Amino acid sequence: MYAALWRLLPGPWWVRVVILLLALAAALYGLFFYAFPWIATFIAPQQSTIG
């Protein structure tokens, strides 16, 4: 899978690395600011007391 992704990207190796880093940053941004907060609305916090 990774070899196929590497072959599909245009340019020399350093351009491919930059594209992959930007794609990774975009994916992490989407997860942390959209996906994880949306999922958190479905997870009820546990009510616990320490006595």
Tokens representing residue 40 in the block? 């958190």
Domain-located, residue 6? yes
When pLDDT is cut at 50, 70 and 90, the band that residue 37 belongs to is very high
Query: pLDDT tens digits for 4-18?
Result: 888 999 999 999 999
Q: How many domains does the chain have?
A: 1
Domain-located, residue 49? no
Rounded average pLDDT over 12-40? 95
Question: So what's the pLDDT on residue 29?
Answer: 98
Question: So what's the pLDDT on residue 51?
Answer: 63
Domain-located, residue 44? no
Domain-located, residue 51? no
Q: What's the pTM?
A: 0.72
Give percent above pLDDT 90 in the chain.
65
Q: What is the dihedral of CA 36, 38, 42, 46, to 10 degrees?
A: 50
Domain-located, residue 48? no
Structural domain containing residue 7: 2-39
Domain-located, residue 30? yes
Q: d(Cα 38, Cα 19) in Å, to the nearest integer?
A: 27
